[in-house]
Amino acid sequence: MFLVMRTIAYGTLFVGLLLIYLPVRVLAWSGINRPAGMAAPQIAGIIVATIGAALTAWCVVSFVSIGKGTPAPFDAPRRLVVRGPYRFVRNPMYMGAALALAGAALFCQSAALLLYCAGFLLFFHAFVILYEEPTLRRKFGPDYEAYCRHVRRWRPGMDATAQG
């Protein structure tokens, strides 16, 4: 139960700051208000954001149930998670969050929010390369190396040469 509480606390902070507060600030800074009506971009945005949120939630549940840890780097899973969405791509949580941001950008028709989404992806790409992957290599050794050979970092699919 304590693991679930830690996960909810971390998730609330992560989602609250990076996926709600900062995007709202970007929209306010760019002068964009909520669209007056619902047209195709808003419907598409809702669909994309919902898919992103669902993917992120699936990742969090996988971390808790399979990995026995949280998405927080300081409280990471104790077991290597290679099932659930992680069997298709090594970083589905960041992809889900980016989809949620892209959906919000589409909903609001905001280039500034789309730029924020691109910056989010660049930041987390660097984080993955510089911190996450070396940490996982040290922690899980050959198991993580084998996983990297079979599952791509960002593009879904299985590939025997999947380092990137």
- 25 occurs within a structural domain: yes
DSSP H or E stretch at residue 93 = helix 92-108
**What is the reported pLDDT for 38?**
87
Confidence band for 164, pLDDT divided at 50, 70 and 90: low
Does the reported pTM lie above 0.85? no
- 158 occurs within a structural domain: no
Average model confidence (pLDDT) across the chain: 86
Structure tokens at 84: 């659930």
State the Cα–Cα distance between residues 28 and 77, nearest whole angstrom. Answer: 36
pLDDT at 6 over 90: no
pLDDT at 2 over 70: no
* 74-119 pLDDT per residue, tens: 778 899 999 999 999 999 999 999 999 999 999 989 999 999 999 9
* 31-67 pLDDT per residue, tens: 877 777 889 998 999 999 999 989 998 998 898 899 8
Domain containing residue 95: 2-32+39-150
CA angle at residue 139 from 85 to 13, to 5 degrees? 55
- 164 occurs within a structural domain: no
**What is the reported pLDDT for 34?**
74
- 93 occurs within a structural domain: yes
